[in-house]
Amino acid sequence: MPEAAGLYYEDHGSGPPLILSAGMGGSGKYWRPNLAALAERHRLILYDHRGTARSDRTVTPRLESIGDDIRLLMDALEIERASILGHAIGGMGGLSLALDTPERVDRLVVVNGWGRLDPYTRRCFDARLALLRAYGPGKYVDAQPIFLFPPQWISENSERLDEEAKHHVAGFPTEMVEARILEALRFDLIDRLEAYPLATPVLLLASEDDALVPPGCSARLAQAIPQAQLVRMPWGGHACNVTDPAGFEARVLAFLGS
């Protein structure tokens, strides 16, 4: 099993390096719908976040630690500079890395992320946390599609979601997810971004129908990042790379210039 700095990783394709960082669940498997298209033009490094899946299961809740781990992974693989594609908190880890060591980040894509938590999203996180604490991983995973996918897509893929839920519950990192939700409620990068504007080119990709993170969160980030491009996807929900992989990949590859 390939491992670097305590992190399980996979290496796909060839070309300019592109590191894929998942959201709350932390598993590199999240990017499976996009591997073939992205690997045609890039060397893809996907990994499991520390505390989840096949990586070191030490709980590291701070979202800034995601950026630290990306840097450790780059060091271990002798990658001096790479582009980062991060979903939600994976993208915010990328923002943290770009602020700390901008010379290591070529381009950054943040998918349905935020710099300061929206009150609506806070209510969603409060509900998810209460569900996890009261009923455990099973009910948490059952409810998760409501926050990730558009209603029609859920209806059309119900059997697939039921099958995937069985695998998600097995080995579910309860302690890590709970800690990360609490950390997401705290996390705020807006003041830092405004005080130290990023020169790194950033794509803020936002779904108009995201039921967890309203697209206005990406618009607020765009105000704080001079080099940001704000691109809206008309449909796809929070996990738009899963529901509309072709549309997602076209926008990402156009930004990366590949």
Q: Residue 117: CA atoms inside 13 Å, Cβ hemisphere, count?
A: 17
List the domains of the chain with CATH numbers.
3-116+188-256 (3.40.50.1820)
Cα atoms in the Cβ-side hemisphere of radius 13 Å centred on 228: 25
CB contact at 8 A, 90 and 48: no
Q: What is the C-alpha separation between 192 and 134, in angstroms, rounded?
A: 36
- pLDDT of 94-104, one tens digit each? 999 999 999 99
pLDDT at 61 over 80: no
pLDDT digits (tens, 9 = 90+) for 109-147: 999 999 999 999 999 999 999 999 999 999 999 999 999
pLDDT of residue 53: 84
Q: pLDDT tens across 144-176, in order?
A: 999 999 999 999 999 999 999 988 888 888 998
Three-state SS annotation for 224-256 = HCCCEEEEEECCCCCCHHHHCHHHHHHHHHHHH
For the segment 218-232, what is each residue's pLDDT rounded down to a tens digit?
Answer: 999 999 998 899 999
Q: What is the mean pLDDT of residues 57-61?
A: 80
pLDDT of residue 63: 84
pTM exceeds 0.85 for this model: yes
- With vertex at residue 181, the alpha carbon angle to CA 32 and CA 219, rounded to the nearest 5 degrees, is 75
E-only strand ranges, 39-159: 43-47, 82-87, 105-111
Matching residue, tokens 């499991």? 48
Beta carbons within 8 Å of 193's beta carbon, 6+ residues apart: 95, 99, 115, 221, 224, 225
The per-residue pLDDT for range 174-191, each reduced to its tens digit, is 998 999 999 999 889 999
